[in-house]
Structure 1
Amino acid sequence: MLLKRLTEARGVSGNEKEVREIIINEIKDYVDDIHIDRIGNIIAYKKGEIDTPRLMIAAHMDEVGLMITKIEDSGLLKFTCVGGIDQRVLVSKPVLVGNKKVNGVIGSKPIHMQKKTEWKKALDYKELYIDIGASSKEEAEKLVTVGEYASFLSDYVEFGDNLVKAKALDDRVGCNILIDLLKTNRKLSIYGVFTVMEEIGLVGAGPAAYNIEPDIGIILEGTTCSDVPGLEEHLQATELGKGPAISIMDRTTIFNKDLRKMIIDIAKKNDIPYQLRRTTFGGNDSGKIHLAKQGAITATISVPCRYIHSPISVMSKSDYDNAKRLLNLFIDNLEKGGFNNEF
Structure 2
Amino acid sequence: MLNTLKQLCALDGASGSEEQVRYFVTDRLSEMGLSYQEDALGSVIVEKKGARTPAQKRMVCAHMDEVALIVTDVDGEGYLRFDCVGGIDEKVLPGKAVRVNGLAGVIGAVPIHLQKAEEREGEIPLRQLRIDIGAASREEAAQRVQLGDIAYFDTPFTPLGEGRIAAKAIDDRAGVAILLALLKQPLQNDCTFVFTTQEEVGCRGAQAAAYTVAPDVALVLEATTAADNLGLPEGQRVCALGGGAVVGPMDRGTIYDRELLQLARRIAEERAIPIQQKQGVFGGNDAGQIHRSRGGVKTLALSVPCRNLHTASCVASAADIHAVYELAKGLIDAVD
- Aligned partner (choices 38, 48, 51) of residue 50 of structure 2: 48
CA-to-aligned-CA distance 1:295-315 (integer Å, 9 cap, x gap): 110011111000001000101
Deviates more, 1:157-166 or 1:26-35: 26-35
Query: In structure 1, what residue type is equivalent to 2:258?
Result: K
What are structure 2's unaligned runs of at least 5 residues? none
Aligned mates of 2:122, 2:65 — CA distance in 1: 29
1:293 to partner: Cα distance: 0.9
1:331 to partner: Cα distance: 2.1
How is 1:137-216 mapped onto 2 (pairs within 5 angstroms)? 137-216=138-217
CA-to-aligned-CA distance 1:65-107 (integer Å, 9 cap, x gap): 100000111110000011111111100000011xx31110000
With normalisation by structure 2, the TM-score equals 0.97
- Aligned partner (choices 16, 22, 25) of residue 24 of structure 2: 22
1:294 to partner: Cα distance: 1.4
In structure 2, the residue corresponding to 1:28 is in which secondary structure? helix
Query: In structure 1, what residue type is equivalent to 2:240?
Result: E
How is 1:289-328 mapped onto 2 (pairs within 5 angstroms)? 289-328=290-329
Aligned mates of 2:135, 2:194 — CA distance in 1: 41
Query: In structure 2, what residue type is equivalent to 1:246?
Result: V
1:248 to partner: Cα distance: 1.2
Aligned mates of 2:313, 2:324 — CA distance in 1: 21
Aligned mates of 2:173, 2:331 — CA distance in 1: 21
With normalisation by structure 1, the TM-score equals 0.95
Aligned mates of 1:321, 1:261 — CA distance in 2: 20
The answer on whether the counterparts of 1:31 and 1:47 sit within 8 Å (CA) in structure 2 is no
Aligned mates of 1:284, 1:138 — CA distance in 2: 41
The answer on whether the counterparts of 1:32 and 1:47 sit within 8 Å (CA) in structure 2 is no
How many residues get paired?
Answer: 333
Aligned mates of 1:325, 1:123 — CA distance in 2: 42
In structure 2, the residue corresponding to 1:142 is in which secondary structure? helix
Aligned mates of 1:128, 1:48 — CA distance in 2: 51
Query: Does the alignment pair 1:332 with 2:336?
Result: no
The answer on whether the counterparts of 1:31 and 1:44 sit within 8 Å (CA) in structure 2 is no
Aligned mates of 1:134, 1:329 — CA distance in 2: 53
What are structure 1's unaligned runs of at least 5 residues? none
Aligned mates of 2:273, 2:167 — CA distance in 1: 25
1:31 to partner: Cα distance: 5.5
Query: Does the alignment pair 1:280 with 2:248?
Result: no
In structure 1, the residue corresponding to 2:21 is in which secondary structure? helix
The answer on whether the counterparts of 1:58 and 1:195 sit within 8 Å (CA) in structure 2 is yes
Query: In structure 2, what residue type is equivalent to 1:88?
Result: K
2:15 maps to 13
The answer on whether the counterparts of 2:191 and 2:332 sit within 8 Å (CA) in structure 1 is no
1:235 to partner: Cα distance: 1.3
1:2 maps to 4
Query: In structure 1, what residue type is equivalent to 2:246?
Result: A
1:228 to partner: Cα distance: 2.2
1:230 to partner: Cα distance: 2.9
The answer on whether the counterparts of 2:65 and 2:199 sit within 8 Å (CA) in structure 1 is yes
CA-to-aligned-CA distance 1:114-136 (integer Å, 9 cap, x gap): 11111111211111000000001
Query: Does the alignment pair 1:87 with 2:90?
Result: yes
Aligned mates of 1:30, 1:12 — CA distance in 2: 26
Identical residues among aligned pairs (%) = 40
In structure 2, the residue corresponding to 1:78 is in which secondary structure? strand
CA-to-aligned-CA distance 1:242-282 (integer Å, 9 cap, x gap): 11101210111100001100010010111111101112121
Query: Does the alignment pair 1:232 with 2:233?
Result: yes
Query: In structure 2, what residue type is equivalent to 1:42?
Result: V
In structure 2, the residue corresponding to 1:48 is in which secondary structure? coil
1:13 to partner: Cα distance: 1.1
Aligned mates of 1:272, 1:46 — CA distance in 2: 24
The answer on whether the counterparts of 2:225 and 2:305 sit within 8 Å (CA) in structure 1 is yes
Aligned mates of 2:181, 2:231 — CA distance in 1: 37
1:30 to partner: Cα distance: 2.7
Aligned mates of 2:251, 2:307 — CA distance in 1: 18
Please tell me the root mean square deviation across aligned C-alpha atoms, in Å: 1.1
In structure 1, the residue corresponding to 2:42 is in which secondary structure? coil
